[in-house]
Structure 1
Amino acid sequence: MPKKPKRIVDTTSFYTGYFLAIGVKPVGISEGAMDNPYFKEMLDGVRSIGKEPSPESILELNPDLIVTFTGTKDIDKLEQIAPVVAIDYGKKNYKDQLLEFGKLTGKEDKAKEWVDRWEQKISGLKPQIQAAVGNKTVSILNPYAKGLYVFGHNYGRGGEIIYGEFGLKAPPEAQKAAIDSGTGWASISLEKLPEFTGDIVFTCPWSGDTSDPGKVYENPVWKGLPAVKKGHVFQLNPKGDTFNDPVSLEAGLKFISESLLSVK
């Protein structure tokens, strides 16, 4: 394993922002990360390796380190190209993961600086948010082809901020299914939506399929929700807020905070 890798290829999409946050620019990243609007100004010279990168496309970039998910197909072929770091998604919280990447790249000081700045921001905002929200519950809901996903504390879409940093509460059913279970998400039918919907809702179409979110958003069940009637529904960015890396979290923090503070 190189002490300070210079040519990193990240096949995961979801870990690219960790490297960018500590001033390390990978030479190759997946198409999903390329499409993240929060990375837009940080990717000059970075090459897309596509949605499902092949070992051949990675070899062309002459990497000295490859980052991928545990269980990735053809990982044995990647190991023939360069040292591989395989990550079990969600096993570490984002602060610990950032510190680990800092050690891996010789940028541990940058990683610690980011964590310190972030915690200062949160400590300043948290009392304001908790005072504004009070006892209201918050849901994160994404329509998809077979119903809705309910997201929790560790699967992006602002959950790390809403439930983790601000300590806000999910509705009991969502808490049980998506947070207490440890999975970070649950799938529900439209009929069960009222049971999983809080006083405040963050939502966006699911980016993993091409289903029509209007089937949910235009449905009487959705329109009848108290949060919808009161205007307490806030639209996330499906190409950016699905990520939970430091760069995306910083961008999401502003929108989430302003949204929560606007609730009357």
Structure 2
Amino acid sequence: MSKLLAVLILLLSPVMALGAGGSAIPLQKSKIDLYDQESLQRGAQYFVDYCMGCHSLEFMRYSRLADDLGIDEADLRENLLRGGAEPGDMMTIAMRPDDAEAWFGMAVPDLTLVTRWRSPDWVYTFLKSFYVDPSRPYGVNNALFQDVGMPHMLGGLQGTQRGVYKTTMVDGEEHKTIQGVELVEAGVLSPQAYDQMVRDLTAFLTYAGEPIILERRQLGIYVLLFLGLFFVVAYLLKKEYWKDVH
């Protein structure tokens, strides 16, 4: 049994490392509610307003989003469509990969599957973990994703944070390790309001990664109920067939 456990740990350790983002700071629980349609609607608006200048959702269609989240066409056109996009279009952006690589040093990733790749808790923690770092090109770093090559687009809303470090001595030299962040100057939003905004955005990205998820969960309940009923029928039938034998 101990050998089997050791093998499982070895097999799962790369997956766990990926989910943790390779960082020493712990992930915070996002506590998203995919049944909260208003939260998903707000998250969609936040994504279009703050993220879609650089990041696409190239596997998501505007019309699918509107149908799933209860957004009528008038609101869709007024609030979410940008740059002449139509409801039937995919949520792509005008930025070319070559331009992104020249400006940011790398191609900007599409975010359709980011919560399936990283996890909702990772995305939620990442959006709360930017801190001032003058050594970086945009003046900020991220405690969860060190040396990330992007600005903090929500910085004006969250405010200014500084890094919290742990200092250790190695061979007589001080080494600092990032342990977290703390708010030093409030932004437009209160910490509670910013947390809710990030939670809404994380919920929307989780939905975008698997739009069928709510329907699949509902279908799963029906399947379990059917299997439970079928088990009772099968058990009674078995007793009837085998009553003369037993």
- The TM-score, its normalising length taken from structure 1, stands at 0.24
Q: Which structure shows the higher helix fraction? A: 2
**Rg (Cα) greater in structure:** 2
- The TM-score, its normalising length taken from structure 2, stands at 0.25
